[in-house]
Structure 1
């Protein structure tokens, strides 16, 4: 494992008391209490289309879990347009694709971050067959191993309306957080994204509404829970 210093500070680390950071903490809390019978360990984050902030949301959620003294693994499963290695300023020479193609062991692909308790598995080199890799038994085994090694696994995936990748991963996770850009995404698109998740029997933990103009101090507003899925 290697450690590197990030260039791009995350709001949950740089300003943990801000309204935005508090919204991410609220999401963490609501996810924890969303099911008292079964613990939520693997959480997928997706959006309906590109540019809605799913990767930033994934990273910030991961940070808030680590700040709560949980061991966290952030997996960049967006093999088509990976972002997490940019956010955390780590190498993307190896990662998820390297592990799934048996070119690298999981323990060697994991990277530590400057945030205590938070590790990252970058996407790795972009493959010609992302969907096939995600649906494989090796992906199932990787998630099972990650769940044993970490308290929480956060998975950043491509937009669910763009490719089938997110649906594949959603079927393997305990729950899904859907990120919606309130200023650009129409209600019908959000409904279609929700329907795509329901099609694979994914559990929608909540919806994060991004860029809601509430005040100058807030650029994010998160609305969580089962009600979010039907709005």
Structure 2
């Protein structure tokens, strides 16, 4: 797989602006339709027991995990599900930028302050029909917070209020946060950006998830160009195999 080094640099700069809400801004586009296809695939992962919690992650930064998690959450919420997006990337959070949220309080404060209730940090967007929990102030010990008993308690409590909880986590290669969270949810969606991440990096990510017995729902191919009568489009594909 040919890797464009300049593309890596540019995309890493762009991620500081938040993720584009493609499915909301252009619901009739091929992009939005691909997100709805991914939604359907995930809904059929567990026929007897609906998926209630999942993480969206990637191998390396700027593969588009936050774009995928945000747009997937939106199309999931469009089916009348009560969906919560949690920014579990307490190192380089983006959810508050994507949805223009107040980030003074969030997941980090909820974990570190036992007396705080989750509804004190969850914000609702009636326009998007989405519940959103920003990361909050960046803590010195994100991994320790995620492994805490307090985090486990919060996650269990959230399941009682929401139909689906999507956790946006840091990339797998950089830190252990995604592996930690993968053990606590129903499954994982791994985002792979075409022409950006190497096959070895993808294999290493899969191995890291396998090491903690995580269930990988599938892989979302981000940025692949497809042509049709209207020209070329970025493509969001879904596969259950690497």
Partner of 2:199: 187
Does the residue aligned with 2:160 lie in a helix, a strand or coil?
helix
Of 155, 163, 173, the residue aligned with 1:161 is 173
Residue segments in structure 1 that go unaligned for 5+ positions in a row: 1-6
TM-score normalised by L of structure 1 = 0.91
Asked if 1:67 is matched to 2:78, the reply is yes
Aligned-partner Cα distance in 1 for 2:237–2:20: 21
Partner of 1:3: none
Structure 1 stretches of at least 4 aligned residues deviating more than 4 Å after TM superposition: none
Question: For 1:117 and 1:211, how far apart are their aligned partners in 2?
Answer: 27
1:37-48 matches, within 5 Å, as 37-48=48-59
The correspondence of residues 1-231 of structure 1 with structure 2, limited to 5 A, is: 10-102=21-113, 104-215=116-227, 216-225=231-240, 228=241, 231=242
Stretch of structure 1 that moved more, 96-105 or 205-214: 96-105
CA distance in 2, matches of 1:116, 1:55: 16
- Secondary structure at 2:97's aligned position in 1? helix
- 1:27–1:224 contact (8 Å) kept in structure 2: no
Of residues 199-208 and 215-224 in structure 1, the stretch that sits farther from structure 2 once superposed is 215-224
Number of matched pairs: 221
User: For the aligned residues, what is the CA RMSD?
Assistant: 1.5
* Alpha-carbon offset, residue 118 of structure 1: 0.7
Q: TM-score normalized by structure 2?
A: 0.87
The answer as to whether partners of 1:135 and 1:168 remain within 8 angstroms in 2 is: yes
Cα deviation per residue 1:101-135 (whole Å; 9 max; x = unaligned)? 01732111110124343110000000000000000
Q: 1:8: Cα distance to partner?
A: 7.6
Do the aligned partners of 1:76 and 1:96 also contact (CA within 8 Å) in 2?
yes
Q: 1:146 deviation in Å?
A: 1.1
SS in 1 for 2:179: helix
Task: Quote how far apart the aligned CAs of 1:36 are.
Answer: 1.7
Q: Residues 140, 165 of structure 1: CA spacing in aligned structure 2 closer, same or farther, 3 A cutoff?
A: same
Between the aligned partners of 1:18 and 1:61, the Cα distance in structure 2 is 15
